[in-house]
Amino acid sequence: MRHLINPLDFTVEELDKLFDLASDIEKNPEKYAKKCAGKKIATCFYEPSTRTRLSFETAMLNLGGSVIGFSDAGSSSASKGESVADTIRVISCFADICAMRHPKEGAATVAATHSRIPVINAGDGGHQHPTQTLTDMLTIRSMKGHLSGFTIGLCGDLKFGRTVHSLINALSRYDDIKFIFISPEELRIPDYIIEMLKDKGIPYKEVIKLEDTIGELDLLYMTRVQRERFFNEEDYVRLKDFYILDKAKLSLARKDMLVLHPLPRVNEISVEVDDDPRAAYFKQVQYGVYVRMALILTLLGIE
């Protein structure tokens, strides 16, 4: 049985197949409208995430399946002290596939170990968020036509931003990729990512100012500085407005650069940028549904 816990769980070839399927779903949605008739997805969300949860639920409904689940730990047995291992054993009796979000890192790994149904990691603390990565990759592939040969700038919270860690891991398997990490000192990319890039001989640099480097980029991945990742409110308030993308900064970028963002946005991208053709972040949301539909079909083994 296959699970998706880490973006690296799928080979590059398997990802190509998945993205081909997602692109076909985009072109011919009616062909897939009843593929999951009689199947159920359980969305087990121990912390709130309207966007990701609704994306999974929409994906399953688009495939003709149905949805069960909970949207915060308070409405689940976790509030009574039930372990993740026990919860997934129970959910395995109800549903055909499970998407799980949990505030603790590694929770989805625990779930996959004890599950009788495929588990999709819908985010485990600051660790991994593989379906956001698949969404980002499908967006890039669909809008640029390929996934290699890019200089990618990642900006904002690179320390706790799980979407960033997952995307770096996934794109590091493609040829001719260069990373530019744009963050304040306090939110620098973790050492294990730097180690991995050094081991693979992938070029990278770390900079503090977005303006200094935006002209070099093919892709700019913006992230939100998240309140819930800080132990202390003072640090959050001091750092949250550090990087804001506005028209002035965007005027220094290439005409064909794409701006991506996992959303929700707070104010790190000014709304004046939304109408710029380079703003790809709302298209990402739509690609997120297609890629989750493709993932559900793939993990359930439905042709």
Which stretches of the chain bind other proteins, using CB under 8 A? 83-85, 102-107, 109-110, 124-127, 191-192, 195
Closest approach, Cβ 236 to other proteins, in A, equals 16
Catalytic site residue 101? yes
CA distances from 137 to 41, 79, 299 (A): 23, 36, 18
Contact predicate 270/256, CB 8 Å: no
Closest approach, Cβ 199 to other proteins, in A, equals 8
Closest approach, Cβ 83 to other proteins, in A, equals 5
CA distances from 66 to 34, 41, 50, 195, 286 (A): 11, 6, 17, 43, 20
What the block records as the tokens of 274 is 């939304």
CB nearer to other proteins: pick between 66 and 109:
109
Catalytic site residue 80? yes
CA distances from 85 to 45, 72, 82, 269 (A): 15, 17, 8, 39
Catalytic site residue 52? yes
Of these residues, 40, 53, 101, 224, which one is catalytic?
101
Of these residues, 43, 52, 131, 133, which one is catalytic?
52
Of these residues, 129, 224, 240, 261, which one is catalytic?
129
Residues 6 or more apart whose Cβ sits within 8 Å of residue 24: 31
Closest approach, Cβ 108 to other proteins, in A, equals 9
**Residue labelled with tokens 């002290």:** 81
CB nearer to other proteins: pick between 213 and 223:
223
Contact predicate 189/215, CB 8 Å: no
CB nearer to other proteins: pick between 84 and 289:
84
CB nearer to other proteins: pick between 27 and 192:
192
| Residues recognised as catalytic | 51-52, 80, 101, 129
